[in-house]
Amino acid sequence: MALPVAFFALFFAWPVAAIVARGLETDGAWHLGRIADVVTRPDIRHVLWFTTWQALASTALTLLLALPAGYVFARLDFPGKQLLRAVVTVPFVLPTVVAGSAFLALLGRGGLLDELWGIRLDTTVWAILLAHVFFNFAVVVRTVGGLWAQLDPRQEEAARMLGASPLTAWRKVTLPALAPAVAAAALMVFLFTFTSFGVVQILGGPTFSTLEVEIYRQTSEVFDLSTAAVLTLVQFAAVGAVLAVHAWTVRRRETALRLVDPTVTARRPRGAGQWALLASVLAVVALLLVLPLAVLVRRSLDAPGLGYYRALMRADGGTFLVAPVHAVWTSLQYAVAATAIAVVIGALAAAALARRDAGRLVRGFDALLMLPLGVSAVTVGFGFLIALDRPPLDLRQSWILVPLAQALVGAPFVVRTMVPVLRAVDVRLREAAAVLGASPWRVWREVDLPLVGRALLVASGFAFAVSLGEFGATVFIARPDNPTLPVAVARLLSRPGELNYGQAMALSTILMVVCAAALLILERLRTDRTGEF
């Protein structure tokens, strides 16, 4: 635990504490009354209200549309199921900037709806809600569908034989067993939408602002660190509460259930009802997940002769100091470095958490590992500039600053992927190797590593995809001559002109293809223990 604790303390806790302290301190003293002054301001109360209700609405809409898909993947067997599973998961690993760009191409000026019917839905709350469903659809399908596939269907069949209707049997038998997984998925969706940044930044315009977007505006546009610090504390408290409830639901989910092999519970659709349900799920996937990405690709090809892609090869001297295509190579380099850091830190933390004799303090660190997913990435990025600005850790001009910020987001995915597999390793294998004289390092290398090697590859893929799309912290610390792909897309979208817009669509398409390729590789490596969130 020493290295993971030191890493999170140095590159997460310290920068966040530094930016909060800088914002609340005046003349050497902390003014906590500033918290009440900020949260009672009408504009801030409006931001808090919008952040909360849009997260609740996004969560409810995601559950409504994704739960039927969870049933289809769990109980029905049909051609192309594995490909469809990969298609459903692609949006989750995409950067939020790409999701925002895709819906901008679909709903915005000159988008598909604008061309066909003259309808524009960008800068409306519906665009934000639909983009959040697009991004979080896979969370519900994987979390709920993964457990649903392992529930013994004979329990519900027994209730039917005793006279219960299909709805009653599902409500009284299946739903109580699924409730912890549904609650865990809902909490994760709420967490991701409550802290939404890229989607709201692109689609919300000046009208809508979440806490994360407001922290960014107060920090980078208004330069009001005091207000940004208060909002950071408010978001920190909200995220902490959500993670505490999530940890409780996960413990409930780990209680004894009658589980079976998921490969034997799926059957070919039978009856008009199941075929209709499958058709409706396919329609939702096509319209909500595939169509925005298809429109994004089409908009990137609007210029004749791949004009937008060719424009990426040259610097304009305004938006970038280098050619925009340079961001592709920069992002790949940063993502590889961040993945290496995240795998080392996450694997060590997972090894400690998976031990059966782990103490309460170690188990408590498990919840803290999730905080970087919910705490303002904007705060972390700006905190890097404030906290890491003097020897021996003056990293402001170092290239490693970006991978460090990206690794903070990738490490929790490594932990979540590897812990279940490490816990499944028979401890007697380790004990036998130790009795035969193997050192702890050799036991890990020759017993654990061969068993968890595939999970390690899956974890590396997730960390790579997540690092590639990190935006909130990177937007502060990426150097002008080395922008990452998400930062480059955001800069292009912020500038007027058809050429800038087309280049943003082209870069978003490149980023989507890279992330989708990583996901398809993950699907080929996926096992029953490593394939679910």
If DSSP states are collapsed to H, E and C, what string results for 386-422? Answer: HHCEECCEECCCCCCHHHHHHHHHHHHHHHHHHHHHH
pLDDT at 530: 42
Question: 151 - beta bridge partners?
Answer: 259
pLDDT at 341: 95
Residue position matching structure tokens 């890279």: 514
**What does the pLDDT look like over 284-302, one tens digit per residue?**
999 999 999 898 898 899 8
d(CA 90, CA 392): 41
Q: Are the C-beta atoms of residues 202 and 108 closer than 8 Å to each other?
A: no
Enumerate residues 6+ apart whose C-beta is below 8 A from 396: 384, 385, 388, 389
Which helix H or strand E contains 26, and what residues bound it?
A: strand 25-26
For Cα atoms 134, 459, 531, give the angle at the middle one, nearest 5 degrees.
60
Q: Are the C-beta atoms of residues 79 and 269 closer than 8 Å to each other?
A: no
pLDDT at 82: 78
In this structure, what are the phi and psi dihedrals at residue 76, rounded to the nearest 5 degrees?
Answer: -115, 145
For Cα atoms 489, 235, 344, give the angle at the middle one, nearest 5 degrees.
65
Q: How many helices (H) and strands (E) does the chain have?
A: 28, 4
Low-confidence ranges of the chain (pLDDT < 50): 254-257, 527-533
pLDDT at 268: 82
From residue 506, alpha-carbon distances to 279, 299, 307, 333 in Å are 32, 8, 10, 20
3-state secondary structure of 424: helix
3-state secondary structure of 238: helix
Helix axes 326-354, 360-368, angle to 10 degrees: 160
Maximum alpha-carbon separation in the chain: 75
Question: 259 - beta bridge partners?
Answer: 151
Q: Are the C-beta atoms of residues 324 and 488 closer than 8 Å to each other?
A: yes
In this structure, what are the phi and psi dihedrals at residue 390, rounded to the nearest 5 degrees?
Answer: -150, 155
pLDDT at 526: 56
pLDDT at 334: 92
**What does the pLDDT look like over 187-241, one tens digit per residue?**
888 988 998 888 888 888 778 888 888 888 888 787 787 888 888 888 888 887 8
Cis bond before residue 392 (omega within 30° of 0): yes
* The pair of three-digit structure tokens given for residue 76, joined into one six-digit string: 């029905």
SS (H, E, C) 67-99: HHHHHHHHHECCCCHHHHHHHHHHHHHCCHHHH
